[in-house]
Structure 1
Amino acid sequence: MKLRFLGKNSKVGDCPTLYATDRDTYLVQGWKIFANDLLMQLEVSEGETAVEVPTELFEHLAKDGLPAGEFRRLEDPLMVLTPGGTYVVQGRVVTDPEALSQMSIPDYETVVEVSKPAIVALLEEPRGADLQHRPQPAH
């Protein structure tokens, strides 16, 4: 799997990172989730896991031609907004040796793979959005 670095949100000791792949997917490197209350809310299938990342990480989607992290909706289990203002992103655990060799992953982080169409779907407004919430023209 070939990776293209899109960006990271580095603070001291924190390095969640976003990559595009040659498989029409994104790799999201983020913090491992240890909070039991959060894990209990997720239905994680075999071969999947979830990571926590700052919401600003998805601003780097602009480098792949997508709107910069303007999620119109969040959809369980793919992406959940936490009370702390971060996203929990669920996807397939990355085990590809070629991909992993291109990353620097601290012990407290892991990487999930999410399909590009799934991310794009979160960026689009759902069909049949409630029109009553739109401003009505003045008469």
Structure 2
Amino acid sequence: MQLRFLGKNSNVGECPTLYATDRDTYLVQGWRIYANDLLMQLDIPEGETAVEVPTELFEHLEKDGLPSGVIRRLEDPIMILTPGGTFVVQGKEVTDREALAQMDIPDYETVVEVPKATIIALLEEPRDADLQRRAQPAL
């Protein structure tokens, strides 16, 4: 799997990071979730996990040519907006050794893979697209 670094929200040390892949997916590196109250809200299937990341991490989606990096809809894979202002992101746990070797992942973080189409569906729809839809005659 080939990775392209999109960004992180700190210049110091390891921190949540966003990558685009050559498989039309994103890798979201984030904090492991240990809080029981948060874990009880999640229904995570076998082979998947969830990470916690700052909401601002998705601003880096613009570097991948997306019109808006602001996620407005909270559906799978963005499971929860926490009281601390972070997102919980669920996805397939990354186990690809080659991909993991390209990242600097501390023990308190892990990585999930999320389809690009799924993330795009969560982005705020451009306002003019809604106006165009309303202007079209009903069939």
Q: What range describes the TM-score normalised by the shorter chain of this pair?
A: 0.7 to 0.9
**8 Å Cα contact 1:58-1:68 kept in structure 2:** no
Deviation at 1:13, TM superposition (A): 5.2
Question: What is residue 19 of structure 1 aligned with on the other side?
Answer: 19
Matched, 1:33 2:15: no
Count of residue pairs the alignment pairs up: 124
TM-score, normalisation: structure 1: 0.84
Segment drifting more, 110-119 vs 11-20: 11-20
TM-score, normalisation: structure 2: 0.84
Question: What is residue 58 of structure 2 aligned with on the other side?
Answer: 58
Structure 1 runs not aligned, ≥5 long: 126-139
Q: Which runs of 4+ in 1 moved over 3 A?
A: 11-14
Q: How do 1:118-129 residues align onto structure 2 when only pairs under 5 Å count?
A: 118-125=118-125
Query: Secondary structure in 2 aligned to 1:99?
Result: helix
How many angstroms apart in 1 are the aligned matches of 2:106 and 2:30?
Answer: 10
What do you get for the CA RMSD once the two structures are aligned? Answer: 1.3
How many angstroms apart in 2 are the aligned matches of 1:119 and 1:38?
Answer: 22
Q: How do 1:1-139 residues align onto structure 2 when only pairs under 5 Å count?
A: 1-10=1-10, 15-75=15-75, 77-79=76-78, 80-125=80-125
**8 Å Cα contact 1:51-1:112 kept in structure 2:** yes
How many angstroms apart in 2 are the aligned matches of 1:119 and 1:105?
Answer: 22
Which amino acid is 1:90 matched to?
A: Q
How many angstroms apart in 2 are the aligned matches of 1:72 and 1:99?
Answer: 29
Deviation by residue 1:56-114 (Cα, 9 ceiling, x = unmatched): 10010000011342123110x41121111000000000000110010000000000000
Structure 2 runs not aligned, ≥5 long: 126-139
Q: Percent identity?
A: 79
